[in-house]
Amino acid sequence: MDALLDAARAARDNAHAPFSGFTVGAALEDAAGRIHTGCNVENATYGLTLCAERVAVFKAISEGARNFRRIAVVADTERLTPPCGACRQILWEFCGNVPVLLGNLQGSTETLQLADLFPRPFDASLL
C-alpha cells in the first residue's frame, strides 16, 4: 500500500464527525516529500465544518510548505469518495493539477488528476 494512502487512512481515525458519522482522512505530500495530514472536523452548524482535504492543505501551508506533489483521500465507503467542490477549489489554488489518490478501507484505490475532477477551474489567472 502507498505510504500516502496509509497516512490518510491513519488521519481518518482522528476525524470528529459526531453528527454524520462520515469520517475522512487526507494526506498531502509536499515537494520535499513531507506528508501533512488532515481529517474532517464537524460542527453542529455544518457550515463551519472543515473537510479533511482543506485541513491538510491549511496545515501544510501553516507549516511553511508551498509546493505539493499529490494528495490522498480515504473514507469508509464502498464507492471511492472524491473531494467536494470547495476542496477541489482549494486544492487547485494551492496545489495545482496534482494527482488525487482515492482509497477506502477495503483496499480499493484510484488515481485521478485534479484537472479531471475540476475542469475549467476559477483561479488567479482569471482576475
Domains delineated in the chain: 3-126 (3.40.140.10)
Amino acid code (one letter) for 52: A
Taking Cα atoms as reference points, which of 46, 105, 48 lies closest to residue 73? 105
53 is catalytic: yes
**Terminus-to-terminus CA distance in the chain, angstroms?**
41
From first to last of the 127 residues of the chain, give the pLDDT tens digit.
599 999 999 999 999 999 999 999 999 999 999 999 999 999 999 999 999 999 999 999 999 999 999 999 999 999 999 999 999 999 999 999 999 999 999 999 999 999 999 999 999 999 9
Residue of 42, 53, 93, 110 with catalytic role: 53
pTM of the model: 0.96
At 114 the pLDDT is 98
The pLDDT of residue 1: 56
